[in-house]
Chains A and B, each alone.
Chain A
Amino acid sequence: MSHRIVRKTELLLLALLAVLVGACPLASAQSIHLPPHEKIVLKNGLTVLLLQKRGVPLVDLSAVVKTGAAADPAGQDGLASVTAALLRKGTKTRTAQQFAADLDFIGAEFDADATSDFTAIRANFLTKDLSKGLELFADALLHPTFPQGETDKILAQSLDGVKAAKDEPQAVLGLYFNGYLFGSAPYGRPSDGDELSLKRIPRDAIVKFYEAHYAPGNTILAVAGEFDSAAMKKQLDETLGSWPARAVTPVSIPVTPPAKGKRLLLIDKPDATQTYFAIGNLGTAVDDPDRVAIRVVNTVFGGRFTSELNEALRVESGYTYGAGSFFDSRKVPGPFEIASFTKNETTLPAIDLALQVLDNLHKNGLTPEQLASAKSYLKGQYPPSIETSAQLARRIALNEFYGFTDDEVNQLEARIDAVTPEIARRVIEKHFPADNLVFVLIGKASEIRPVVKKYASQMDERSINDPGFWPPPASTTK
């Protein structure tokens, strides 16, 4: 908001967050370590992780249902998200309004949404309200009734949400990019749906999705904060222990091959005074053996303020307020993108410069100074990413989901230190795209179309007002 004008773009912060995903520690004095935590499996198969953290009298719950938007049937994009959003909108004993009233009265929070890989359900409340908070959380997770009226409301609101997002180019750039890179494969589809898919989701599809995927054996629950462990176990058993076991068929997500050659999608927003662009290709899976080295290299390339991209596009040329790059690593390889924005008139030189920086990365690799600096930076900035109970709960839940041990955090410093210039060079060649590139631009087509043609032999164009993202709806409707 214009009230509080910050120096650095959110884009960079996003890049930083993306860089940090995949590990999660708490620090004991000098080195990065996860605080001790305990894993138990309830009789119904629910995996529970308990982490006690003193400081403030809050408890955070972070549940991961191991099915996300990648399980949405083709043409019904948004199903997993809508299902999650409806959990609190009516249960066997509460209307949506009663749930909100009970939750808000104690100052508690509850929210749920779906990413492509999983569904995340979170809550937090004061330790003194533990019984009430846990009971509300379990009520939403175990006993949602998906009332028709609330379902209609959420679907209509989600649809308007897509429209509102399209008024802000940065909010939708990644959705067009994923669509253009992955096509109709699961990672190409918008996890919150689009203007057409949301109209094709009947209530019974939501009920079926819930019944097929929400089950204790398919769920991990992490609890972090100030609580008594023995009492917590008892209360968890009383609330979530009653969740009946149910067989769930795991969803397998197909691996998409990297894009070959160059292609460019131009999204016309005639009133735009700035071009918002993303350039990239297939990135990596979250468990890629090179993941720590990739994080180090990307820090130098586009993951912090003094990164090569931001230095070139912002600090030295003034083309933009921010430029960065990130690997959105998922269960199977997700996208890698370079992203920035610049005024219409400098679209060409800014994109040229971004490509030149990428080219230089391949030509020159990293200097020993850059490598040392990135290592310090990553290690120094890590502890605040696992400072709160909410951060810790999410981190241990995701470690469990992705099959990581605590070493993912506890060995992070050692693994960062082990990255050599040779390893960096190999990682650049293997994981950073060079000649095969996907471009997505949102901007004023009449001004920029003639100059951006040169980047790709294949060029596609849509208006931001056309429903859906990419591919165009005709090819996704049955």
Chain B
Amino acid sequence: MKAFRSRNLALLVLCAASLIASAAHAQSNDFPVSTRTLKNGMKVLVQPDHSIPNVALYIFYRIGSRNERPGTTGLSHFFEHMMFNGAKKYGPGELDKAEEANGASNNAYTTRDVTVYQDWFPHSAINLIFDIEADRIRDLTFDPKKIASEREVVASERRLSVDNNNPGLLDEQLWATAFIAHPYQWPVVGWMSDIQHWTMDDLKHHFEMGYSPSNATMVVVGDVSPDEIFQLCEKFIEPIPSHAPPPPVTTLEPEQLGERKLVVRKPAQLPLLMIGYHVPQTNNPDFYALNVLRTVLFQGESSRMYQRLVDKDQIALDVSADSEPGFDPTLVIITAQPRQGIDPQLCEKAIYEELDKLKSSSITDQELEKAKNNRLVEFYKQMQTINGRANTIGTYEVFLGDYHKLFDAAKNYAAVTKDDVQRVAKQYFGANNRTVATLLPEQEEKAKP
């Protein structure tokens, strides 16, 4: 029932949760990580865990849609697709077939900041996986026929996740409005007209720019030993030469000087509301206080926003907050699904009132304690699968600069005070710093047959 009620919102909450791991008492030696930096600059992190005979392997490339330009938006994501469409040894279609025939599966995701490749496999497939990963980093090929069909696949993906998806559509408009200078303004999947116009040269240039081994971090968790992985890296990955990393993104988003509002009108059953606030990049020290604030306001049915909007006023079906990790200053986005017949402005007003309460008086000791307890549980939930560990260790290493911060998070959350929460509420959640996006249903009745 819950999933049915708010599929997209639940997804948002999950995204948010994925980065707010912490651990009050967790010791890093409970989950030991071995590291090595290869001669070509790729850093490798390994965590053995033999509870199941499987392995999760992640490669994080520090390239995403922030490295793109107008006209070729979405290229990082399209490129990610092309990484599965043929290299020198494993030609078009062969990579997936070889992996699945050996019990392995794979996927990948692209964000504004990174492109991440994932393999999940039984230990027996480990040589194959390294052979494949090396092949495509070193010798990717571009088949014009594959480019043409994959372009259609990505267009279909865009229709699925944006054009025919209200939260996806509103979110895209929100980022495009909240950022006027910085490349975070365009969607990761790309504008439809750009999807239709990338060229092979664009792809080749992207490969040269983003796919140096020195621009990547590999994380391996599961039924392996560090020595085994380091030896495989020496054989398959280390010989691949390094080259220059992507040029730095130098554009800074200027301070927002006043509230921005946008409206999307389309046929829909229910309206939708999203409010974005500019917040610092993930490695800013306020990361921890902002997460405590989010927990107090949004996590669970006892949270302030749920109690106010869903339970007491009964003006929303769901309310949540999401903040994706970013190398550059990013957004916290509050999403509310207004109830049938409710003016989204009523939800807006209630949200601002709850934010104002945080600014004028401090949270309770009980709320602070609750937030820290929740971070501890979240940490253990991420640690209970090899996949969760690989993703979390990699995310901390890449976005916070050091995987140790995952195990220090307990300490860092313990240091957050009620005053810190009040300070970040005042500093970041003001009217001038927000962009308000509203989707309003319009009549769609057309003549029936």
Contact = CB atoms under 8 A, between A and B. Distances in A.
B422 interface: no
Contact of B163 (A106, A170, A273): A273
B305 to A, nearest CB: 13
Contact of B324 (A3, A7, A27, A319): A3
B11 interface: yes
Interface in A35-91: 55-58, 81-82, 84-85
B259 to A, nearest CB: 23
A167 B159 contact: no
A7 B109 contact: yes
A84 B446 contact: no
Contact of B120 (A166, A271, A384, A446): A384
B2 interface: yes
Nearest to A127: B380
Contact of A372 (B101, B122, B339, B381): B101
Given A1-B171, A168-B165, A321-B153, A270 B444 contact: yes
Contacts of B153: 314, 318, 320-321
Given A2-B187, A158-B1, A321-B153, A7 B108 contact: yes
Given A2-B171, A306-B97, A315-B93, A164 B160 contact: no
A97 interface: yes
Interface residues of B, number: 108
A295 interface: no
Contact of B53 (A311, A315, A383): A383
A163 B164 contact: no
Given A160-B317, A305-B96, A167 B166 contact: yes
B40 interface: no
Chain A interface size band reads 35 or more
Contacts of B121: 380
A58 B324 contact: no
Among A26, A167, A341, A388: residue with most chain B CB under 10 A: A167
B55 to A, nearest CB: 10
16 contacts: A1-B11, A4-B324, A29-B53, A81-B1, A84-B1, A106-B377, A107-B374, A113-B3, A160-B337, A160-B339, A163-B270, A167-B268, A270-B267, A271-B267, A373-B100, A384-B385
Interface of B: 1-8, 11-12, 15, 50-54, 77, 80-81, 84, 93, 96-97, 100-112, 120-122, 124-125, 148-157, 159-168, 171-172, 187-189, 266-270, 299-303, 306-307, 310-311, 314, 317, 322, 324, 337, 339-340, 366, 369-370, 373-378, 380-381, 383-387, 444-446, 448-449
Interface of A: 1-9, 26-27, 29-30, 55-58, 81-82, 84-85, 96-97, 100-101, 103-108, 111, 113-114, 125-126, 153, 156-171, 192, 268-274, 304-306, 311, 314-321, 341-343, 369, 372-373, 376-377, 379-381, 383-384, 387-389, 445-446, 449, 461, 463, 465
